A and B are shown apart, each in its own frame.
Chain A
Amino acid sequence: MLRFFASRLLQSLLALIIIITATFFMLRFVPGGPFTSEKAVTPEILRNLEAHYGLDQPLWKQYFDYLGSLAQGDFGPSFKYPNRTVNEILADKLPVSLELGFLSLLVALLIGLPLGILAAVRRNTWVDYVASSFGMVGISIPTFVVGPLLVLALAIHLGWFNASGWYSPIDRVLPCLVLGIAYAAPISRLTRGGMLEVLSQDFIRTARAKGASELRVVLRHSLKGGLLPVVSFLGPAIAGILTGSFVIETIFQIPGIGREFVNSAFNRDYTLVLGTVILYAVLIMALNLAADVVQAWMNPKVRLEA
């Protein structure tokens, strides 16, 4: 067990260094820089700017300087937002994305799990067909269509919500619903599949034969095994919700980290790109590790091995 964690940690660290190095150099080889703008600055001003941010140093020195400050937990200043450091921006926005992600996940599970279970239990009845259709529709229609449609209906026509923003609790409802639905669909399908497999097994027949109620069969005997595919999906899905919230954040004007992740690349905000990439890399690694651990706990057939 300990060896498993030590080895995973080492692997992750190595991967992280490769990611940082690749991002750092790839960014520098992309045409255009942080100070490229439609209204060109004079060569003198450009020189001053580069000196101000240390971009006049040789690239290898900049790289090691960056690694040095990174080791001290300093992500450096943002090029695009001069009066903010990357640390400040990440600290400001990560909680927003976490909140959005957590609430959406909750919505996804609240809708997806019951639908999947119901569909499996009432297999090939109208309940199953409705649930499966929801799954198909939810997977097929992207959030940038569902989002504006819900805004149109609930915000503009009914006037229940603001069209966008992240100011008061009620502003959380629409974006979390939209993002939640997008993930509820695959969850319901995976739950249905997992449950069906477990429900057809011998021990379930035994439980039924012994007179266990349907509710008990489902909740007590099948759920743990039936949810396995969902759990292995959840690790990458949570990472996906956190990193892939760009569209939702843009549609609803949410001050989360997904927008910075995308916009910083357009702005050639070198330090902010690196900051968001590192953050996401760490998140994804941690979540995958967590998914592995949870799976091992739920399924005795899986062992944690280095």
Chain B
Amino acid sequence: MTRRFLFLALATALLVGGCKPRDTATPTAGSTGAGAGSRVLHLGNGTEPQDLDPQIVTGVPENKIVNALFEGLVAYGPNGQGTIPAAAASWSISEDGLIYTFNLQPNGRWSNGEPVTAADFVGSYRRILNPKLASEYANKLYPVVGAREFHEGKLQDFSKTGFKALDARTLQITLKRPTSFLIESLKHYAWFPVHLPTVEKFGGLERKGSAWTKPGNLIGNGPYILTEWAMQQRVIVDQSPTYWDRAALRTDRIVFYPTENIETEERMFRTGQLHKTNELPLDKTDVYRREQPESLRIDPLLGIYFFRINLTRPPLNDKRIRRALALAINREVIVEKVTRQNQKPAYNACPPMESFTSPVRLTGDLAEARRLLAEAGYPDGKGLRPIELLYNTSQNHKKIAEALQQMWRQNLGVDISLVNQEWKVYLDSQDTLSYDLSRAGWIADYVDPNTFFDLWRTGDGNNDTGFSNAEYDRLLEEALGTSDQAARRAIYARMDAILMDELPIIPLYFYTRTYAANPRLQAPPNLVETPNYKFIYLRD
């Protein structure tokens, strides 16, 4: 009898436990988000952040939280584009484009009340460039005099670099040569300042991953402070009382949820746990289009989906075959029938942006593709060995690969075998050139064509195709030093033309970011997914 009693007692305990009032920080299930007047945002944020140290992290989920806790010199404007002052109130650029002088916000403060000084910025840059810290994004600072040398250990004296604190509120940065995208790249978190005394206190400046980024320890200069960080559960940030532009903030608290499983994330949105998802499953997109278009958002994203070609392996070392493959794809069918999230077919290597829209377009028809293949010695694909198409294991990549396989077989008679590998194995295969064709994607770090053209420089760590073209490399250097925007655009167009002629890659489409959002959520689309939380809030 005691056994039964025990079961009963446990069952009761379970039931009673289940009836406790729920956590108030979570919106109640069944409601459509937090109630009117509430200024709390609940955002799906992809994966669990690795860390919150802007000099250590490397991913998009981290970027979204770091932008709440820290502030760079400049930031994106109200429509998600352009440049507005942030930690710097104003700045000037010398005639020769080499010296940038920033006047910091007179009221700029760390979250512990201390003023944000030019010395804080210089000290932070010294930390990120310290080789012992092993920061993965330290090379973002390479345009500055001495930065690269210091980072590679060839220069010991940091005062010889181009970072200078002229006085408490004036920061001067001297470049090696004019770099037209410098202001754009300053919006990247590698350029954000950290509070050195705090970093020092929790394990020193050279230690990667100390406790300084934990709640209660973290001192930032951003609009929000870190209140809670429960691993794989949520990160909560609240308005910083010391932020210089606090009046501009229209959200009191933001809760970021790691949402690795996008089906789960979508269900969280439907129960009202989230105001915004990070992604939307492909098969849900059409459902949202049909049933609740007001919650569906498709933003442009500065990125390209393409295929790398291994130029070191026959038969794809033959330009004619590459061109035949590139021409025999119906990109419109791919984006309309397979990817279905308003992606734009790509006929060149660089997605369009405000400062640059490439005039280059891969043109040619099926007849030309067949003729090229025959010229290369493989009429109707006869005699050509099966070509391997590599992709990382994913349902979406598989669908695209299968569509291409069919198009190439039908249009050219070329036999393609599909190979999928787990993510890191796939990256390794690409890196060691152990593939024929490999699916790839590239999302910009900052809004400038350089981020796309830099990839194909001879020996670049991301080239992974064996592509090497002296003229291309020369033009890349020339573009960096050209301050006249029209001339620069012309150079990039020439580089794009080289790429579409040599075809080390086959472009497929330009990315979009598709997600579900509460219709009241105001969130200007940003091309590189870098938020400015002053402009993200729930409308009344």
Contact = CB atoms under 8 A, between A and B. Distances in A.
Interface string A132-172: 00000000000000001001100110111111111111111
Contacts of B14: 103, 106
A58 interface: no
B5 interface: no
B444 to A, nearest CB: 11
Nearest to A147: B264
B461 A253 contact: no
A43 interface: yes
Interface in B205-235: 208-214, 230-234
A32 B22 contact: no
Nearest to A81: B50
A94 interface: no
B26 interface: yes
B271 A268 contact: no
Contact of A164 (B20, B134, B213, B264): B264
Nearest to B134: A48
Given A30-B425, A148-B267, A169 B18 contact: yes
B461 A32 contact: no
B287 to A, nearest CB: 13
Interface stretch (A33-41, A198-206, A286-294): A33-41
Interface in A204-230: 219
A131 B47 CA distance: 41
A253 B425 contact: no
B264 A167 contact: no
Nearest to B59: A37
A52 B270 CA distance: 44
Interface size class of B (residues with CB under 8 A): 35 or more
Interface string B239-253: 000000000000000
A43 B461 contact: yes
A39 B462 contact: yes
Given A110-B11, A253-B261, A45 B138 contact: yes
B18 A170 contact: yes
A57 to B, nearest CB: 15
A159 B428 contact: no
A110 B7 contact: yes
Contacts of B131: 44, 48
A151 B263 CA distance: 11
Given A41-B461, A164-B273, A165-B233, A159 B11 contact: no
A251 B259 CA distance: 10
A237 B132 CA distance: 47
Interface in A163-191: 163-173
Interface in B290-328: none
B427 A38 contact: yes
A168 B273 contact: no
A266 B422 contact: yes
B17 A166 contact: no
B428 A80 contact: no
A251 B262 CA distance: 9
Nearest to B130: A48
Nearest to B17: A169
Interface in B464-508: 464
A165 B263 CA distance: 14
A30 B428 CA distance: 10
A48 B11 CA distance: 55
B17 A83 contact: no
A85 to B, nearest CB: 9
Contacts of A43: 461
A163 B208 contact: no
Given A32-B428, A49-B134, A172-B18, A80 B50 contact: yes
Contacts of B209: 77, 81-84
Interface string B401-438: 00000000000000000000011110111010000000
B232 to A, nearest CB: 3
B29 A162 contact: yes
Contacts of B445: 39
Given A41-B136, A170-B22, A163 B50 contact: no
Nearest to A164: B264
Interface string B368-402: 00000000000000000000000000000000000
A255 B51 contact: no
A171 B21 CA distance: 11
A251 B260 CA distance: 9
Interface string A81-95: 111100001001100
Nearest to B441: A38
A73 interface: no
B427 A32 contact: yes
A37 B60 CA distance: 13
Counting from the closest, the 10 A-B pairs by CB-CB distance are: A159-B30, A82-B209, A32-B424, A255-B232, A40-B461, A48-B134, A31-B428, A163-B267, A83-B209, A168-B22
13 contacts: A30-B425, A31-B428, A33-B424, A39-B462, A42-B139, A48-B131, A83-B51, A83-B211, A148-B267, A163-B268, A163-B271, A167-B22, A170-B19
Given A45-B134, A83-B213, 14 more contacts: A32-B423, A32-B428, A82-B208, A83-B214, A84-B209, A84-B231, A110-B7, A155-B267, A162-B273, A165-B233, A219-B1, A250-B261, A253-B258, A253-B268
Interface of B: 1, 3, 7, 10-11, 14, 17-23, 25-26, 29-30, 48, 50-53, 56, 58, 131-136, 138-139, 151-152, 208-214, 230-234, 257-261, 263-264, 267-268, 270-271, 273, 422-425, 427-429, 431, 441, 445, 461-462, 464
